[in-house]
Chains A and B, each alone.
Chain A
Amino acid sequence: MEIVWSDFSESCPILKECLDSSDLAKETEDTLEYIYEVLWIEIGSFVRSKLAPTFWSCFKHNQTLAKFEKDGGSAEALQQQYKLFTNFVNAVKSLDAYYQFVRTSLEKLDGICQRADHGKSLAKLNELLRSALLSQLPTHFNNVVYSFYSVSFRVFFNLHQSTSMGQDNEDLDESGMPCKGCNQELEKCQCQSLLQTINEVNQKLVDLELLDRLAGQSMTFLVQQRIKEHIKNTCHGIFDRSHLKNLLTWLEDVVICWLMQVFHSKVSADPDAMHTDDGSKSTDVIQSLKVKLTFYVYENYALSVIDQFFSIIIDFPDSIPAIEDLKICMEKINLRRQIINTLKSSLEARILHPGVNTMDILTGYVAAIKAIRYLDSSGVILETVTAPIKEYLRKRSDTVRCVVTSLTETESGPTDLSEELAKGDAVKDGTKGNVNDELSNWENWQPDPFGLDNTVQTRTVKTSRSADIISMVVDIYGSKELFMSEYRNLLADRLLTQLEFNPEKEIRNLELLKLRFGESLLHNCEVMLKDIADSKRINSHIHSDTKYVENKQFDISSLIISAQFWPSFNKESVELPEEIANEFQKYTKSYEEYKGNRTLNWRTVTGKVAISIELGDRVLDMTVAPTQAVIIYHFQNKNEWSLDDLSTLVKIPPSVLRRRMAFWQSHGIIIESQPGIYKLIEDELPKSQLEKLPINEIITEDEDNESAMASASDQREEELQVFWSYIVGMLTNLDSLPIERIHQMLKLFASNGLGVEFTQDDLKDFLQRKVRDHKLIYSGGVYQLAK
C-alpha cells in the first residue's frame, strides 16, 4: 500500500495536498467545485498514463513468448501457460490495489466536498478506468487471458472429476504423473489454492466490471474448444449408443458450473442484498451463454456425426442411435445442406471409384437408402445424395447383372435385396395406398423442406420418394424393361449352363419377381421356364420310344426351347461328324413323330457331353463342351490335323478353334507340334509333367463362363435393324441428314407402336456400323447413302 501511495502522490500532488489539508472544508463552494474538477482530471490522467500502462505492461512483456502457447500440449507450452497465469494474477491484483486506493480517496474527497451521490462518482470512476484500459488494449492480451482461463478451467475440471470419481481417481494418478490440474507433483498439488486465487481474481474483475469485456471472448473460445474436444473424445466412432443426453448433462455439470463459478464467485462469497442486482445480471449472462453453448454442442455433435455418416451407413441397423441423435439435432439446426455436401463427397471418395466392386457399391447404395430414409422420411436428402451413385452405377456395365444376381441369388446366404424381394407384394399395395393417403390425409401434409437445390426437387417424382428399396435400385436404370431384359439374359445363361431339368429355385424367384414387376414383363421368362419343364417330359417320352431306343448309339437329352421367347443366341456353331449328326437325326425324328408338324433346329455348340477317351492303357472320363467333343472325335481317325483343315471340317473359324484346342492341350492330349499343326499324343506324358495337369478334373475351363447369348450390343443392333428400311427411305428422299433429324424422325415411328426404345447414342453406333459396312457415308456431320 505504501508503494501505491507514493506512486500515486507522485503523479498527482494536488490530491495529496487536498486530502491532507484539513482546512479544505472552509473554502468556498466555487473553489471546492474547482478543486473537485481538477482532481477528476488528475485522476483521469493518472489512470490513463500510469495505471493502464502498468496493467498492460504485464501482458506486453510476454508477447514474444506467447507464441508457444497456442500449440498447447507440450510440457514447455504448459509451463509457459502457468507463467502467463501468474502474470495475469499479478496484473489483476496490482490493478485492484490501485483501484481500491483511488476509490477510497474518492470516497474521502466526496465526503469533504459534501457530495451526496457517491454512487454516481464511483460509476464515473469505473467508466474512466474501463475506457482507459480498453483504449490501450494491446494486441496480444488475449493470449494471457486465455492462458489464465484455460488453467482455471483445467483446475476446475480436475477438481470436478476427482470429486465425482472419488478415491479411485487418486489411485490412478499416483503413477508419477503430474497433477492434471496444476501441473505440479501430485503430493504438492496446488489445485485448491489455485482455485482460491482464481476465484479472487474473478471476483476482482467482476468488481471492476471488466470480466465480460476482458475475458468473454477468450472464455467462449476456450469453452467451445473444450466442447469440441469432449465430443471428439467421447463420441468418435461409437454409433450404437445415443450420446446427446450425456453431452448435455456434461455441459450442464461441468461447463455451466464452471461459468457459474467464474461469474458468481462474488455472489457466493458474499451473498449480500446489495449484490443481488449484479447476481441476477450474471445469471442472465449465464443463461444466454448456456443457450448458445447448448446449440454449440448440438451443432458440433451433429457435424461430427455427419462427418462419420459413411461409417454409420455401413453399420446401419446398429447405428440407429447415432441417427436418432442427428435427427434431434436437425430439428434444432438446419443442417441439410451440410449433410448433403459431406455425404456426397464422402460417398464419392469411398465407393464411387473404379477400385470398388459393383456388388459393394450396390450394398453401399442399399445401406444408404435405408439409413438416410431413417433420418429423413421426406426423401429429399436421399434423392440428392444418391443421385451421383445412380449416375455412376449407370455407367458400369455389370450393374444390372449384379442387381439381378443379388435379387435372386440365395446360395451364398440371402442378400439385402433378396430379403426385400421375399417380403413380397406388401409394397405394391403400399404404393396404391399412398395415393389415397395423400388425399384423405391432407391435414398431415408437410411441404418439402426448403433451402435445397430447387432443380432437384422439381425433377423428383412423388412415387419414387415413397418407393421401396428394390424400386430404388431398379430405378438406377430408369426403366423396368431394360432391367427385366437383363434378367432374361441372366436366366437364359443360367439355364443353359446348368442344363438341368429342375428349375425350382428359378421358378420361385420368377414368382417373386412377377409379384413385383407384373406378369407381362416376365412373360418371356415364364415361357423359358416352361420350356425346361416341357423338355423334361419330351425327353422322357422319347427315351421310352422303343424304335428310337433300339437304334441309338448314345443317350441324347435335349433342352427344347421356344426360340422366340429366349434372348437371341450368338452365332457360333460347329459342324458335327456324320455319326453324331445321325444320332441327332434319330432324335429329331422321334420328336417329329411325337409332336406332329414340328421339328427341331439343333444348336450344336451348346450343351455338355460325357465322353470317355481310351488312350493307350488309360481311360479318361470327362464332361466337356460339344465343340471339344467334336474336336477330339476327329482325332480318332487322324493323328495329326492342320488348323486350317480342321477348321473347314468343323466350320469353326481358325482363331476360335485355336482357343478351343487349348483345352485339350492343357490336358496334355494334343500338342501343337509345329505352328498350325496339332498332334495327338497317345503315350502317357512323363510323370512329372502329368502331375501338373489336372487330367481327371471335370472342367470346361472358361467355356462355362462364355455366354451362349448374343451380347447386349448385338441385340441392340438387331432391334434397330427394324428401322434400317426407314432410314434408307429417308435418305433417298432427303439426300443427307444429320443424326439428330434421323433420331427425331425414327422416334415418331417408334412411338407408333414398334415399342423399341433407343437413344441417339444407340442410333449412332448403328449408323457407324453401317458406315463401316459401306452402306452409308458420313461426312460433314451428315449421313448419306453410299452410291
Chain B
Amino acid sequence: MKVTIKSWMGVASWRWIANDENCGICRMSFESTCPECALPGDNCPLVWGVCTHCFHMHCIVKWLNLQTMNKQCPMCRQAWKFNFH
C-alpha cells in the first residue's frame, strides 16, 4: 500500500520568538496587543533592545518619549538602543 498526501490544510498559531511571554510595560502577552491597539501581529509589532529585552513597539516608544534625560530600558536601566535584526 502506498499513501500519497496531495495537500494538507492545517492550522497553526503564530508566536513571537522572544525570551519572555509578556511585555514588561503593559504586562500583556506579546501575542496580544498593547493597550492602544486592536489588531495583533503586524499592527502591533515587538522591538528588541540591545540589552535583549523586548516590548511592544508602541509601549517602549511611549516610555522613551516620557524619559526626558537619558533613555533607559525599563527593565535593566541600561541605555536603550534598538536592536534591528
Q: SS class of chain A's interface: helix, strand, loop or mixed?
A: mixed
The reply to whether A554 and B85 form a contact with Cβ atoms under 8 Å apart is: no
Q: SS class of chain B's interface: helix, strand, loop or mixed?
A: strand
The reply to whether B29 and A564 form a contact with Cβ atoms under 8 Å apart is: yes
The reply to whether B8 and A607 form a contact with Cβ atoms under 8 Å apart is: yes
The reply to whether B40 and A527 form a contact with Cβ atoms under 8 Å apart is: yes
The reply to whether B9 and A613 form a contact with Cβ atoms under 8 Å apart is: no
The reply to whether B15 and A563 form a contact with Cβ atoms under 8 Å apart is: yes
Q: Which of A561-578 contact B (CB under 8 A)?
A: 561-566
Q: Which of B1-23 contact A (CB under 8 A)?
A: 1-18
Q: Closest B residue to A539 by CB, please name it.
A: B9
Instruction: Say how far B38's CB is from chain A's closest CB, in angstroms.
Output: 6
Q: Does B46 contact A (CB under 8 A)?
A: yes
A377 CA to B61 CA in the complex, in Å?
A: 56
Q: Does A38 contact B (CB under 8 A)?
A: no
Interchain CB contact (< 8 A) of A561 among B2, B9, B12, B48:
B12
Given contacts A558-B12, A561-B11, A564-B31, contact A553 B40 (CB under 8 A): no
Q: Does A606 contact B (CB under 8 A)?
A: yes
Q: Does B39 contact A (CB under 8 A)?
A: yes
A514 CA to B61 CA in the complex, in Å?
A: 32
Stretch in A62-70, A77-85, A352-360, A591-599 touching the partner? A591-599
The reply to whether A629 and B40 form a contact with Cβ atoms under 8 Å apart is: no
Given contacts A534-B41, A564-B29, A564-B31, contact A603 B5 (CB under 8 A): no
Q: Does A649 contact B (CB under 8 A)?
A: no
Instruction: Say how far A664's CB is from chain B's closest CB, in angstroms.
Output: 11
Q: Does B72 contact A (CB under 8 A)?
A: no
Q: Does A680 contact B (CB under 8 A)?
A: yes
Q: B4, B7, B11, B16: which has the most chain A beta carbons within 10 Å?
A: B11
Interchain CB contact (< 8 A) of A555 among B7, B16, B38:
B7
Specify which chain B residues have a CB less than 8 angstroms from the CB of A221 in the assembled complex.
none
Q: Does A636 contact B (CB under 8 A)?
A: yes
Given contacts A555-B6, A611-B6, contact A603 B1 (CB under 8 A): no
Q: Does A727 contact B (CB under 8 A)?
A: no
Specify which chain A residues have a CB less than 8 angstroms from the CB of B32 in the assembled complex.
564-565
A453 CA to B17 CA in the complex, in Å?
A: 63
The reply to whether A626 and B1 form a contact with Cβ atoms under 8 Å apart is: no
Specify which chain B residues have a CB less than 8 angstroms from the CB of A534 in the assembled complex.
41-42
Instruction: Say how far A737's CB is from chain B's closest CB, in angstroms.
Output: 30
Specify which chain A residues have a CB less than 8 angstroms from the CB of B40 in the assembled complex.
527, 562, 564-565
- Mark A609-632 against chain B: 1 for CB-CB distance below 8 A, else 0: 111111100000000001001001
The reply to whether B15 and A601 form a contact with Cβ atoms under 8 Å apart is: yes
A688 CA to B18 CA in the complex, in Å?
A: 60
Instruction: Say how far A105's CB is from chain B's closest CB, in angstroms.
Output: 110
A560 CA to B12 CA in the complex, in Å?
A: 5
Given contacts A562-B40, A611-B3, contact A499 B29 (CB under 8 A): no
Instruction: Say how far B31's CB is from chain A's closest CB, in angstroms.
Output: 5
Specify which chain B residues have a CB less than 8 angstroms from the CB of A564 in the assembled complex.
29, 31-32, 40
Specify which chain A residues have a CB less than 8 angstroms from the CB of B9 in the assembled complex.
499, 557-559, 607-609
A225 CA to B74 CA in the complex, in Å?
A: 91
Interchain CB contact (< 8 A) of A559 among B1, B10, B42, B48:
B10
Interface size on B, residues (CB 8 A): 29
Q: Closest B residue to A635 by CB, please name it.
A: B1
Q: Closest A residue to B31 by CB, please name it.
A: A564
Given contacts A527-B39, A562-B41, A564-B40, contact A595 B5 (CB under 8 A): no
The reply to whether B6 and A613 form a contact with Cβ atoms under 8 Å apart is: no
Interchain CB contact (< 8 A) of B17 among A561, A597, A682:
A597
Instruction: Say how far A488's CB is from chain B's closest CB, in angstroms.
Output: 15
A48 CA to B3 CA in the complex, in Å?
A: 116
A608 CA to B6 CA in the complex, in Å?
A: 11
Specify which chain A residues have a CB less than 8 angstroms from the CB of B42 in the assembled complex.
534, 595
The reply to whether A636 and B10 form a contact with Cβ atoms under 8 Å apart is: no
Interchain CB contact (< 8 A) of A610 among B6, B11, B16:
B6
Q: Does A452 contact B (CB under 8 A)?
A: no
Specify which chain B residues have a CB less than 8 angstroms from the CB of A523 in the assembled complex.
38
A611 CA to B17 CA in the complex, in Å?
A: 33
The reply to whether A606 and B6 form a contact with Cβ atoms under 8 Å apart is: no
Instruction: Say how far A612's CB is from chain B's closest CB, in angstroms.
Output: 5
Given contacts A564-B29, A636-B2, contact A599 B7 (CB under 8 A): no
Given contacts A564-B32, A601-B15, contact A584 B10 (CB under 8 A): yes
Given contacts A558-B12, A597-B46, A599-B15, contact A613 B2 (CB under 8 A): yes
The reply to whether B2 and A554 form a contact with Cβ atoms under 8 Å apart is: no
A186 CA to B31 CA in the complex, in Å?
A: 95
The reply to whether A580 and B5 form a contact with Cβ atoms under 8 Å apart is: yes
Q: B1, B7, B32: which has the most chain A beta carbons within 10 Å?
A: B1
Q: Closest B residue to A534 by CB, please name it.
A: B41
Q: A560, A580, A591: which has the most chain B beta carbons within 10 Å?
A: A560
Specify which chain B residues have a CB less than 8 angstroms from the CB of A560 in the assembled complex.
12-14
Q: Does A556 contact B (CB under 8 A)?
A: yes
A611 CA to B8 CA in the complex, in Å?
A: 9
Interchain CB contact (< 8 A) of A562 among B13, B17, B18:
B13
A541 CA to B1 CA in the complex, in Å?
A: 35
Q: Does A530 contact B (CB under 8 A)?
A: yes
Specify which chain B residues have a CB less than 8 angstroms from the CB of A596 in the assembled complex.
85
Q: Closest A residue to B45 by CB, please name it.
A: A597
Q: Does A600 contact B (CB under 8 A)?
A: yes
The reply to whether B16 and A606 form a contact with Cβ atoms under 8 Å apart is: no
Q: Does A496 contact B (CB under 8 A)?
A: yes
The reply to whether B7 and A632 form a contact with Cβ atoms under 8 Å apart is: no
Specify which chain A residues have a CB less than 8 angstroms from the CB of B6 in the assembled complex.
554-555, 610-612
Q: Does A778 contact B (CB under 8 A)?
A: no
Given contacts A527-B40, A633-B3, A680-B1, contact A603 B11 (CB under 8 A): yes
Specify which chain B residues have a CB less than 8 angstroms from the CB of A530 in the assembled complex.
39
A41 CA to B82 CA in the complex, in Å?
A: 132
The reply to whether A555 and B1 form a contact with Cβ atoms under 8 Å apart is: no
Specify which chain B residues have a CB less than 8 angstroms from the CB of A608 in the assembled complex.
9
Specify which chain B residues have a CB less than 8 angstroms from the CB of A612 in the assembled complex.
3-4, 6
A592 CA to B12 CA in the complex, in Å?
A: 13
| 10 tightest Cβ-Cβ pairs between the two chains A and B | A563-B13, A555-B7, A600-B12, A606-B11, A607-B10, A610-B6, A564-B32, A614-B2, A554-B5, A603-B11
19 pairs of residues in contact across A and B, judged by CB atoms under 8 Å: A534-B41, A557-B7, A558-B12, A561-B12, A561-B13, A562-B14, A580-B8, A595-B41, A597-B18, A597-B46, A597-B48, A599-B14, A602-B12, A607-B9, A607-B11, A611-B4, A614-B1, A614-B3, A708-B11
Apart from A598-B41, A629-B5, 18 more pairs, CB < 8 Å:
A534-B41, A558-B11, A559-B9, A560-B12, A560-B14, A561-B11, A561-B14, A562-B41, A563-B13, A566-B13, A591-B14, A592-B17, A602-B10, A610-B8, A612-B3, A632-B3, A635-B1, A682-B1
Residues of chain B touching chain A, judged by Cβ–Cβ distance below 8 Å, are 1-18, 29, 31-32, 38-42, 46, 48, 85
